[in-house]
Structure formats: structure tokens, C-alpha cells
Structure 1
């Protein structure tokens, strides 16, 4: 009998040997593997060649056959917050299970697997905040960027990260992660905003501001990087890549004009100036803020 291997495996793209030999003879399975019609992902797990080329297939197979969830840096990759990592898949299982890792699989155990389980493309995966905290001790530089992007993309909130971090009082490098989470909670959404907040906006003698201030003009919603409400002064921190395009510059000009129409002055600092001469940025900000105070009669 001529089997249609693709139809036999199904849309998932992979299956186990035990599932296969329940439907076809073992000799056929071995022949398909030898001929390259099936690829061995791990002991007892096979995939169609096209599916085997997708790293997500491997994670899916490992999670379901081991009855766990993709976690740690593997989870961050599945959430598309870091590049696909080389090396083993990280998997977390319930503490009630006695299980061991194997070649290509690093096994972790946790008591709250059901609570932290989410799904990405149908694959069971740890929630973003748990993956961030779990991975932080091994690569804080990489995870720092992942955490910022996760909050910016609304995959989790600073409050979620704070909650998860509170559960790990002995986490290596905890103080640095807590500082980052605090800045995200304050409204920072990029490394440039973090730099600007620490080196410019929060400098000695600087006035009080709020971050991520929402302003609506003619039905359009704008979010200001930093705002001084008492004098209607907005500060925007322009990244070199995003704000360097002609289209974005035109958008910024239009946005600033609309804000000016309701009394807001926008002060912009670009990436190069902020990172090379923050003291000069502080001086300009103080001067403009003082002028606005005089204009508005603020004491």
C-alpha cells in the first residue's frame, strides 16, 4: 500500500513513532526516515522535512511530548523578543513530575505551570514576564532589550514584571532588573528614553515632569515622551533610525504644529546630542522651561 506521508502526519507537521506505528508498520516508518521523507527531531519524534526546518516545530514537539511549556530564552524567542537561540530548548514542567532533560532539552521545574502558561501559534509557552525573569541571570544585556520591547509591544506590563520579580527575592542581578522595571513603570519605552530620563530629565535641579502623557488634538491621540503640564512643554527624544527618515520628519512637524495649536511647545533632542552632551540638553531644557514659566506666570 502506498502511503501519503504528508496526509498521514497531518497539519501539525510532526508526530511520534508510537502514533505512526499504530497506523503503519515499523518498516515503512524506518524506510521513510532513511529516504528523508521524515526527519528525526528527537528520540521517537519525527517531522516532515518542511516542518522540521522551522525551529518552532521542534519546540512544539518537545513541549507536547514532554508535557511541559517552552520557557526561559526559548520562550523569549517564541514571543519574538530575541533572535532564535542556538542550543537546547528550555522546557518547564510541574514540580510533581519526575522528569529529566536530554540531549537538546534543558528541563526546569515550577509549581505554577498552569498559571503561567500562554500559547503562541498553538505552542504552550511561559508568559513573557516569567520568561524575562527566568532568563535575566544568564544574559541581562539581551533580556534588557527583550523586556523593553515586551512592554512597548504590550506583551506584558511593568506591573506584571514587578509581580514576577517580587516572587524571586534571591534572583541573581535582581537589583538591576528592578531598576529597569522601575523605569518602565515610570513610562520609559526605549533605551534612549531611559538614557534621557536618567541623564537629562532627572538631573540635579531639573523640574518635575510626567512621562507618556496623552494629549488629544482634533480627535488625534498623541503620547508625549515627557511633559511639563504647568507650562505646556513637551520633550521628545528622537531615535536616530526612526526619526531620521523624511516621512517621519514630516510627521513630527505636523504633530508639533497640531500641539502648538493648543498651546504646547515641543522641544526635541536627537540621539546623538542626548548621548554625547546631556549637560547641554539640560541647560536648554531649563532655559526653555524658565521662559515658559514666565510666559504662563507660573511661580
Structure 2
């Protein structure tokens, strides 16, 4: 391969977290035989079907999600937990691979949760660090199906504080996409309207304090633990994964309407069906009582 061609490939790979697609290589006038020879020579390293890493170009923490996006067609975007992570949400653990594909593309990608959507219009799309990503408002909309009624307002408020989106943009996304029966839509509509009306809740340190107390008591606690149930991903406030125990905040404020309660009730039923024990707590729950409840739950599960 001529040096000028390889320079063009590595330049593109450096902008795309070390990876390039077959379509991009062909757009650079590289015939299939040249691509195959470069792969055999170790210059192009297969990452996924039709996606290669350029040898010598350093990867980043976002290389896996970039490769997943390049593997999809005709239009694919990082979405759900992946998009929340890309937008640096402090409430979402890194590493989860979620993509949304527009249209009828139905291939499976190993280790990737693929979501199909007929709604992926211009307001729903963005490019962040060269990664095609759902827009902030669409990301909140997608996460509404899995976040608890305590966590969803925190996710939304974090995006609003950092000016990633406005409550009006979130509401517009809900109106455009959130039809009857779409999980989390009704509750998101309520809290978005509250923020349009001027409601600005402060930060809540409840979860941090509870997690600290449980860790001091000797439990292995994971905050914002992700659980896959079917094609949905739920985020548990404070989880003790070794025993499938979930400590969930059941405060009133984010459930000031029935939709908040209904949303959490559905989550609890699905998580219980997967073997999780839900321990509810409020801002008035004493940490000592919570520790005792967790200890008793663990004893019952041994």
C-alpha cells in the first residue's frame, strides 16, 4: 500500500478512535483486494465485521462503541447507556454498548444491545467526539424506560445543569416519539413539564450516604448497577450484586404523580422476576435499620 494512502487511513483512524469501516476505505478508492492484503499484512486489524483498527493508531476508551456504530447501517448512533456515558453522566457506569439503528437493519453484534427505531430524525442525532450519538434530549427519552423514578430526575437535571439540552427540547422529543405504552414516557413528560414551569431541585446526597454506610458495614455495594431484563436495562440505585439485593430510594418528590409510582412498580416486578430482592428506603430511613434489613436479606439468601 502506498504511503500516501496509508497516511490518509491513519489520519481518519486517529479521528475515529483508531477504527475505520470498509465503506470508508472503499470511499478512499481502496479495492477489496487491497483491503484484504492490508489485513493479512497486519496493517488493518479486524475489530468487527467490516470494521478495522489501523495498526499503530492508539485506541481510546470509546473505540468499542465507535466500532459498533461503524458496523451498523444505514444510520447508527450510540444510544441509551452508551450515549449517557459519552455525555459524561456521573450516574452511568462506562463500558456498556448500546446502539440505535434506523430502518430495517437487523444483524446482531456480539456484546452490543441493538435497538431499532423508525424515529431517528435530525433533532435526535448528534456527533460527539466523532461518534454518532443520539441527541441529549433523545438520550434522556431512551433512558426513561430503564431509570428509576428517583434516578430519572437526576439524569435530566444533570443534563440541564450542563446545558446539554433544555426541558423544552426533552418535551418536544416526548411529543414527537413518546406514544402510548412506551415505558417511562408519562413520567418523563411530567418532570420535563415541571422544569419548564421553573422547578429546579437541588442535589440529593442520600444515595452516597447510604452506599458509604453499607460499605462500612462490610457489604460490596455497587451504585447505579445495570441489570438487563429482556431487551431493557434497569439501573439500581444501590446494589449488592453477590446476593441480588437492591436498595431503592422511594422518595415522594419524583413521584408526586401516579406515573412515578407506576413506573417504579413495573421495575420492581420485573427485577423481582429476575431474582432480585428490593429493599425500599426513604430519606427518613435510618442507616442502621437499612443495614439490619440488608443483613437479614443476605442471611435468608445464603
What TM-score do you get using the length of structure 1 for normalisation? 0.52
- Seen in structure 2, the aligned counterparts of structure 1 residues 139 and 25 have a Cα distance that, compared at 3 Å, is closer
Work out the CA distance in 2 between the residues paired with 1:118 and 1:110: 16
Work out the CA distance in 2 between the residues paired with 1:84 and 1:9: 32
- Structure holding more helix per residue: 1
Identify the residue that residue 59 of structure 2 maps to in structure 1. 53
Match of 2:108 among 59, 84, 101: 101
Report if aligned partners of 2:21, 2:70 keep a CA contact under 8 Å in 1.
Answer: no
Cα RMSD after superposing both structures: 3.5
Shift of the alpha carbon at 1:110?
Answer: 1.8
Report how many residues are paired: 191
Work out the CA distance in 1 between the residues paired with 2:132 and 2:2: 35
Structure 2 unaligned regions, length at least 5? 14-18, 207-282, 285-302
Per the alignment, in what secondary structure is the counterpart of residue 148 of structure 1? helix
Identify the residue that residue 134 of structure 1 maps to in structure 2. 142
Deviation readout 1:231-286 (Å, 9 max, x if unpaired):
xxxxxxxxxxxxxxxxxxxxxxxxxxxxxxxxxxxxxxxxxxxx88xxxxxxxxxx
Q: Does 1:148 align with 2:157?
A: yes
- Seen in structure 2, the aligned counterparts of structure 1 residues 61 and 21 have a Cα distance that, compared at 3 Å, is farther
Shift of the alpha carbon at 1:151?
Answer: 1.1
Identify the residue that residue 160 of structure 1 maps to in structure 2. 169
Match of 1:87 among 96, 109, 114: 96
Shift of the alpha carbon at 1:2?
Answer: 9.1
Tell me: higher relative CO, structure 1 or 2? Use CA pairs within 8 A at least 6 residues apart: 2
Work out the CA distance in 2 between the residues paired with 1:169 and 1:86: 31
Structure 1 unaligned regions, length at least 5? 196-274, 277-299
Report if aligned partners of 1:152, 1:189 keep a CA contact under 8 Å in 2.
Answer: no
- Seen in structure 2, the aligned counterparts of structure 1 residues 27 and 49 have a Cα distance that, compared at 3 Å, is closer
Work out the CA distance in 1 between the residues paired with 2:154 and 2:31: 46
Identify the residue that residue 7 of structure 1 maps to in structure 2. 7
What TM-score do you get using the length of structure 2 for normalisation? 0.51
